[in-house]
Amino acid sequence: MDRIRIRGGRPLTGQIKISGAKNAALPLMATCLLTDDEVRLENVPDLADITTMTNLLTHLGVEVTTRQSLKDRSVIFSARGLSETTAPYDLVRKMRASVLVLGPLVARHGVAKVSLPGGCAIGTRPVDLHIKGLQQLGAEIDLDSGYILARAPGGLTGGEVTFPKVSVGATENLLMAATLAKGETDLINAAREPEIADLANCLNAMGAKIEGIGSDHLHIVGVERLHGCTHRVVADRIEAGTYAMAAAITGGEVELVGLHHDLIGAAAATLAQAGVSLIETPDGLLVRRANGVVSGVDVMTEPFPGFPTDLQAQMMALMTTAEGASMITETIFENRFMHVPELTRMGASINVHGSSAMVRGVKKLTGAPVMATDLRASVSLVLAGLAAEGDTYLNRVYHLDRGYEKLTAKLSNCGAEIERLSDGAAE
Ligand code: EPZ
């Protein structure tokens, strides 16, 4: 099993090109199931989760062709030869976002059998909102032996779906399904993450009729069919926020290339409050400490445009060596503090009380062997390792491979002493 070794204490300086967003690419890949025409996605990140979704689509009979050029990676999908409408457990359990094939399959093909994703390290993560929403559009849904069995032989019918809580995935599943439903659909209390706007823009390029993009009320007028399109995946705001915090925790200066400021949302204001400045440049954002120190700030995760839960672990790493204290409250997932014991082993001072963690800044962290548990917890340990004195060994780096393209290369190009060890020996 691979490990990563980091020798901390070196400020990051230089440029990091931000890749296409994992959490945009995954639903965008599922749109190919809504048409027989080719869907071509550009700026697709080369990640384990993208490979998992590709394997699932291939299993369904979708033809997937990857084109790698010097500066871009495009993937072309054709569902003309779709031969299967079952997403099996052994594929879905590897990645929960596989459930995003449910809406397109039942909307376009009238039938879908998709394994319930099951929970994951950060929480139970049910899909009840996906199921209830599709039922409100006329799908007949049964749960049997761990599978969702969805049928809509005469197609879906538009309707009004009010989400009792904000759900990115449920909004995406319903948005895709509604594009082919008969009549009009209103999605109320819809998630507003930029990845959803990216998906809606792609669907409209395919001939869908979606209004209210970027708001929490999406109005969709169903159409007979969708055609193919070429769409460029939006930049990954979570990757960008991660590297912004890496620059800050090491006291460096990094330009995040290919990112627009408006993608960062509330995280920009929180970082500014902590003394991290994000300056817009013609190519992206320049990140550095505003006046030499990082101050403790309170953070509460919320749906976009609030502070993203996917940056919570990274922010906590940044706060471990800040001046003062920081109260970090996780409101989205019930178990997203697994980075705490590992950061503590590196010398951080963190006390967890329910869904809040009190972080008291310490002078320095010390490198140690640490264990990755989920994607964002893993990268928070990388950030801590970059700032710590001595060597940090991060085990189970397959978590990182799910969401960070070329992480060691991007960081070493900015001066980090970081390398991937394929020695197999866990610490
Ligand atoms: C998406 O997950 C992201 N994944 C997550 O990123 C992200 O943390 C999350 O949105 C919140 O922003 C992808 O886009 C592939 P939700 P999703 O439905 O759609 C509850 C990462 O690190 N809920 O918005 O699964 C759920 O349990 C990953 O890149 C229900 O109760 O998240 C959670 O508490 C991690 N019933 C809350 O809603 C449902 O039917 C938000 O979940 C659906 C969700």
Q: What is the pLDDT of residues 195-208, one digit of tens each?
A: 999 999 999 999 99
Ligand 1 in reach of 119 Cβ (< 6 A): no
Decide if pLDDT at 427 tops 50: no
Q: Which pLDDT tens digit goes with each residue over 18-64?
A: 999 999 999 999 999 999 999 999 999 999 999 999 999 999 999 99
Q: Which pLDDT tens digit goes with each residue over 68-112?
A: 988 889 999 999 999 999 999 999 998 999 999 999 999 999 999
* pLDDT the model gives residue 150: 98
* pLDDT the model gives residue 424: 56
- Nearest-CA residue for atom 18 of ligand 1: 167
Q: Would residue 144 be called left, alpha or beta, if left means φ above 0 and alpha means ψ between -120 and 50 degrees? A: beta
Q: Which pLDDT tens digit goes with each residue over 182-193?
A: 999 999 999 999
Q: Which pLDDT tens digit goes with each residue over 280-327?
A: 999 999 999 999 999 999 999 999 999 999 999 999 999 999 999 999
Q: Which pLDDT tens digit goes with each residue over 207-233?
A: 999 999 999 999 999 999 999 999 999
Decide if pLDDT at 248 tops 90: yes
Decide if pLDDT at 425 tops 60: no
- Most ligand 1 atoms within 8 A of CB, residue of 237, 332, 376 to mutate: 332
Rounded percentage of the chain residues whose pLDDT exceeds 90: 91
Peptide bond into 369 cis (omega under 30): no
* pLDDT the model gives residue 72: 87
| Mean pLDDT along residues 132-141 | 98
- 303 Cα: distance to centroid of ligand 1 (angstroms): 10
- 122 Cα: distance to centroid of ligand 1 (angstroms): 10
229 is catalytic: no
Decide if pLDDT at 415 tops 90: yes
Rounded percentage of the chain residues whose pLDDT exceeds 70: 99
Ligand 1 in reach of 359 Cβ (< 6 A): no
Residue labelled with tokens 């085990």: 395
Ligand 1 in reach of 126 Cβ (< 6 A): yes
* pTM exceeds 0.75: yes
- 262 Cα: distance to centroid of ligand 1 (angstroms): 21
Ligand 1 in reach of 198 Cβ (< 6 A): no
Ligand 1 in reach of 392 Cβ (< 6 A): no
- 29 Cα: distance to centroid of ligand 1 (angstroms): 18
